[in-house]
Amino acid sequence: MPAEPKKLWGGRFSGKTDPLMEAFNESIHFDRRMYDVDLTGSQAYAKALQQQGILTAEEQQQIHEGLERVRQEWKSNQFQLKPGDEDIHTANERRLSELIGSVAGKLHTGRSRNDQVATDMRLWLRDEGHKLLTYLCELIQALATRAQTDIDILMPGYTHLQRAQPIRWSHLLMSFAFWFKDDAERLCQLLARTNRLPLGSGALAGNPFRVSRQFLSNELGFDAVIPNSLFGVSDRDFVAEFLYWGTMTMTHISRLAEDLIIYSTAEFGFVALADAYSTGSSLMPQKKNPDSLELLRGKCGRVFGSMSGFLMSYKGIPSTYNKDLQEDKEPMFDVADTLSGSLQITSAVISTLTVHKEKMQAALTDDMLATDLADYLVRKGVPFRETHHISGSAVRMAEDKKCQLSQLTVEDLKTLHPSFEKDVAEVWNFERSVENRASLGGTSKEMVQQQIKQVNVWLQTIASNL
């Protein structure tokens, strides 16, 4: 009978672990996703051990090649998990021992799973974060491209979901582009804080064999070494920050989805989703449901739940490593997966959206030019606080006469203020209203094109760093 594999921590214990506790304790069913970075970290650590004379050059090479064989088994789905493989570190080391023998036992010298897992997570999140940054930039590009294509389309702008003032559809699209640009910048900042090396911190007190942590940092592509070993093994702020970033990004996706859901209803009819991102009803054959957008809106709650759940676990943990920190990986993985799909779906929805220009145009009504009517009098020298009241009176007059605001005669308007002249007719032009908003950040064509240009220049800059 083959000997039962020894646990990495088993020497202290004489009794067997309750099978239920075995299952409760293990994390291999989810942390196996980090197999590749775990192997990479171990290869670097073997080199650092060789530098200190713990490993010979031949032993280091054996370990390196053995770990490569383990990597290939994972990649080809040939890696066989066994009882006792409680986490990815144990599984990889166990398999390495089977492949190269007892020399594998030297690999863990001076290293703890505490600093090993912290390193694995930072490596994994660094790689995944760069993929997410790419998807985020693709979404921003899709919005900017669509905004340029649809630059001449006007629509009602809303506050309180009530028609407010005319704007360019492109102006609305670019508002989301700037939200997502902020998300991209936040992601870059948190990845910079993530990219610091904890390996060499040991269990909590540091490494007793003077391994070169600067060498490990360079070898693994970290920007810096974490200078305090206690902090190195216990810090999961980078996970919390990632979950917050995911929550904010999904909040912006959810808000965009909500706008498009409303605009795609028959009552609005401003946009129509491509069939590829819609579904039908099992009962009502006429239905075309915006399921992609509803799922995006719903997944925002999922991501927020991951963040709040982890923070509740994280807030009460005493110093250094505690097993509660096993709760850090599943939310990190789930949020990464959710954001990966959500960003790509959102980009595709924007790129394939059909915009009904005529429906947007038809939704523009004269009352949306009431502020322009007030501005007309401002240009005649009347204080705005007076013109606001006068314009409101004109709206009430039109309601009483059951006519459009633009159908009030100059004589009607003169009863409200003598400064009204025939040129008031120029106010009743939606394009003119939009073009009057020509200050920086406004909805005029020139200002929106400036926004598009600004985002495109930023995208070129960020692309050079991806």
Q: What is the CATH number of the domain that holds 437?
A: 1.10.40.30
Instruction: Identify the band that residue 15 occupies on the pLDDT scale cut at 50, 70 and 90.
Output: low
Instruction: Identify the band that residue 198 occupies on the pLDDT scale cut at 50, 70 and 90.
Output: very high
Average pLDDT over residues 77-90: 95
89 tagged catalytic: no
Q: Are 34 and 88 in contact (CB under 8 A)?
A: yes
pLDDT at 266 > cutoff 70 = yes
- Using CA atoms, how far apart are residues 233 and 226, in angstroms rounded to an integer? 10
pLDDT at 2 > cutoff 80 = no
In a shared domain, residues 267 and 307: yes
- What percent of the chain clears pLDDT 70, i.e. is strictly above it? 94
Inside any domain, residue 464: no
pLDDT at 464 > cutoff 90 = no
Instruction: Identify the band that residue 206 occupies on the pLDDT scale cut at 50, 70 and 90.
Output: very high
In a shared domain, residues 162 and 289: yes
Average pLDDT over residues 193-214: 97
For the stretch 235-247, pLDDT in tens is 999 999 999 999 9
Instruction: Identify the band that residue 386 occupies on the pLDDT scale cut at 50, 70 and 90.
Output: very high
Of 359, 387, 403, at which residue does a domain stop?
359
Inside any domain, residue 426: yes
130 tagged catalytic: no
Inside any domain, residue 458: no
Domain hosting residue 389, numbered range: 366-444
Average pLDDT over residues 103-121: 97
Inside any domain, residue 94: yes
Cα–Cα separations (whole angstroms), residue 417 to 111, 180, 382, 411, 429: 84, 46, 10, 10, 21
In a shared domain, residues 240 and 151: yes
In a shared domain, residues 300 and 345: yes
pTM, full prediction: 0.92
**Among 14, 102, 160, 464, the one annotated catalytic:** 160
pLDDT value, residue 136: 98
Cβ burial of 319 (10 Å; 0-12, 13-18, 19+) is exposed
pLDDT value, residue 436: 96
Inside any domain, residue 430: yes
pLDDT value, residue 19: 76
pLDDT at 16 > cutoff 90 = no
**Among 29, 281, 319, 389, the one annotated catalytic:** 281
Of 302, 333, 359, at which residue does a domain stop?
359
pLDDT at 352 > cutoff 60 = yes
In a shared domain, residues 242 and 97: no
Of 342, 359, 376, at which residue does a domain stop?
359
Instruction: Identify the band that residue 9 occupies on the pLDDT scale cut at 50, 70 and 90.
Output: very low
